[in-house]
Structure 1
Amino acid sequence: MVSGQEPQTNNRQPVHALVLTGFGINCEEELAAAYRLAGGEVTIVHFNQVLSGETSIHDYDVLNFPGGFSFGDDLGSGVVMANKVRFRKLPSGRTLLEELSAFIEAGNYVVGICNGFQMLVKMGLLPDFAGQQEREVTLTHNASGRYEDRWVRLAVNPNNRSPFLKGLTSLEVPVRHGEGRLVIRDEEIRSRILAEGLNCLTYCDATGCETELYPHNPNGAELNCAGLTDTTGHVFGLMPHPEAFLSLYNHPDWTRRKRLDPAVSEEGDGLKLFRNIVEHISQSRAAQPAEAAPNEVSL
């Protein structure tokens, strides 16, 4: 190495998240705030900037599909956006779904929250056992027949594969959706989801026990499912909104909690997921051999 130059190391690169917006997505700012608070860098772009080739997903570590009401849910939640991803050709000649597959194969991460989760299952990226991006599960109208806006408790599957959930056993976060009920195509898919631990988050009651009872399970999802991963753990979707609980003061009961325990953490449960992924990517880079800079000379 040339004298006087500092070695370049992979772990000095910031973790950079791409957050999509447009067409009715409306949770992009909260999601961006989550990554910033977790120590990452964030770029928010309109979906069209990716479809036009102006922005490449391959320049980022984590691709985020936020919550909202894309295309007004007029044809079903996430359906139109999923079809854009599946069929719209980019300037490269490939569809965005093909680019997403390459993005995941390269070791990067994709997360979808609420409407974003609905997009991922309708793209066929979750759980994607066949590896063909065929729809194996779906998310449909809540069993209650109405829009649900409430706080829920979640149990974390200890066998889950997602670095977002590392070290976590439970979470309390809000839901706000009308179509959050997971329906599984057939018994074989159901059995594989259970056997491989892809049912990473389940609704539970106040005691922490998994439950199918309303309102603890707000939508009647099969397997009491609140979140899924693919078999690689690189694709993660969930109905609840972790980005809506970044601070204790987001919680409607914060005053009582602060009064009962003045030392209570001022961080919300949702922030833990984003700290986890930023830390995981940073540590993965640190474990990789440093690449020599172009102007470095080995002696």
Structure 2
Amino acid sequence: MSSTDLDAPPLKSLLLAIVAVLGLHVLAAIALVAIKTPELKPEPKKEMLPLEIKFVSLPAKMVSTEVEKQTVTAKKEVQPEVQVQPAPQPEPKPEEPVKQPTETPVKPKEPVVKNVEPKVTPVIASEKPRPDTSQKVAPKEPLPKPKVDNSAAEAQRQAAAQAESERQAKKSEQEAQARAEQEAKRVADAKAAVQAKAAAEAAAAQARAEAEAAAALAQSNEPVSFTASSANWASAPNFSFPERAARRARSGDTLNVVLVLRVNKQGGIDNVRVAQSSGNPLLDKEARRQVRSGKFKPFTKNGVPVVGDVTLPISYAVP
């Protein structure tokens, strides 16, 4: 048996270890399944208050002044390079004439030159100065416009204005004339209406009067005079010279008698009287008898039958 076989664990132990590991995994899985997961509650929504934004505008002058100050300060802080000048040598004192000591030559001290680095202050990058809007900007003088000949346009405009004025005047005149015609027509119509009303009232009054008169005439027996020409015979009598009256007359003579007849509303002759005698009483009597044989058409006035008196002349020729 080799050395590797001796060092390897037995197969039974290996299987037990695998089974134990699998059992632990199964138990862990069951435990995880059995544990209730906490319910996640939704957080209440917070009401977002509206943001209030307030714009603060700084005056332009102050900003420009601060920028100018910073620029000037930066310019002032820049110092020029320092030029080192040698220190002035002290003037030698005048030698005393009495003592003449031996002088040892003294070398003058060389001036110590210090390298002074110039202090350069950093220039702060500042904002560009805003233009001062409060200062009034001088208006630029407008360039002279080229002169344009507007005479033709002006003449055309004036002609159009004059034409429009004439049109408006003509329109106003026509409207005034139309109003005058309407007013005249209204007055004429009103006058005609008044006249028509008056005529109608007059006609109605006349008709009423005639009706009243007719009614009065119909009830009244007062005779109305008529002429022989306005009398119409319904049946005319036969006028002939009587023989008994010829004894007192000469042959060839013409005898005239005038009678007045009272005619009733039916046209009958109620009464006869002699208005003018013929001179022969027998002829007058015979004329009265003969005329009674006739009958007139009823006399009317305003359409109403009335009693009439008729004057009737009769001429007789002696045979």
The higher relative CO (CA closer than 8 Å, separation ≥ 6) is in: 1
TM class by shorter chain equals: under 0.3
Rg: which structure is higher? Answer: 2
TM-score by length of 1: 0.17
Greater fraction helix = 2
TM-score by length of 2: 0.16
